[in-house]
Amino acid sequence: MRKLFLPFLPAYLVFLPAVALAATGTPGATGSKGDVSLVSSPTFVDPFRPVEARSQARAAVRQARRKSRPEPAPAVTVSPALAAIAACESGGDPAAVSSTGAYRGKYQFSTATWQAVGGTGDPAAAPEAEQDLRATILYEQSGPGQWPACG
């Protein structure tokens, strides 16, 4: 640890007092009172920055993560026919998995069928609204024949 810190020590001894003088507005400092442009530079990372700045940075990271999340599926009104299919296939349980594991979710999608209607990942792990949307798409494309036992 000492080997890593020692080369930077002279830079801190020279740089930090200059920043402090600029921030306080002491006569002879390079900036006016409150001018801390060196501290707020995006290339300078100050390990001693105030708690407010750290919390602002954390808030920016949280906001970026929220923006990168996928949009939830739009709400779909399930037709009576699809409601009957869901009740027959899984008892209406969005997390249902067949005994063989080949069919998953409220409408017992196979992985290939789920992907064919735009689904990604595991159908049983998808939100119920997403399953309703994908089942509506499939029903409109192919009719009830996709569910031979319950359609």
Spans of all domains in the chain: 2-68, 80-146
**Spatial separation of the C-alpha atoms in residues 105 and 127, rounded to whole Å:** 9
Angle between helices 80-90 and 128-142 in degrees, nearest 10: 110
Contact 94, 76 (CB under 8 A): no
Residue 90 · residue 105 · CB < 8 Å: yes
- State residue 120's pLDDT score: 92
Residue type, position 89, single letter? E
Domain formed by 80-146, architecture: Orthogonal Bundle (1.10)
Please give the chain's pLDDT, 151 residues, in tens: 455 555 555 555 555 555 555 555 544 444 445 544 444 445 565 666 666 776 787 888 888 777 666 666 567 788 999 999 999 999 999 999 999 999 999 999 999 999 999 999 999 999 999 999 999 999 999 999 999 888 7
pLDDT of amino acid 26: 47
Q: Which pLDDT value is given to residue 2?
A: 52
**pLDDT number for residue 29:** 45
Question: 16-25: which pairs have CB atoms within 8 A and are 24 or more residues apart?
Answer: none
Instruction: Report pLDDT for 104.
Output: 96
* pLDDT at residue 55 in the model: 76
Q: What CA–CA distance (Å, rounded) separates 56 from 27?
A: 31
Q: What's the pLDDT score for residue 24?
A: 52
Q: What is the dihedral of CA 104, 109, 113, 110, to 10 degrees?
A: 50
Look at the block and give the residue holding tokens 């009172």.
33
Q: 68-98 b/e with 16+ CB inside 10 Å = b?
A: eeeeebeebebeeebeebbeebbeeebebbe
- Residue 119: the pLDDT is 93
Residue 9: predicted pLDDT:
54
**H-only helix segments in the chain:** 2-5, 9-24, 51-68, 80-90, 111-116, 128-142
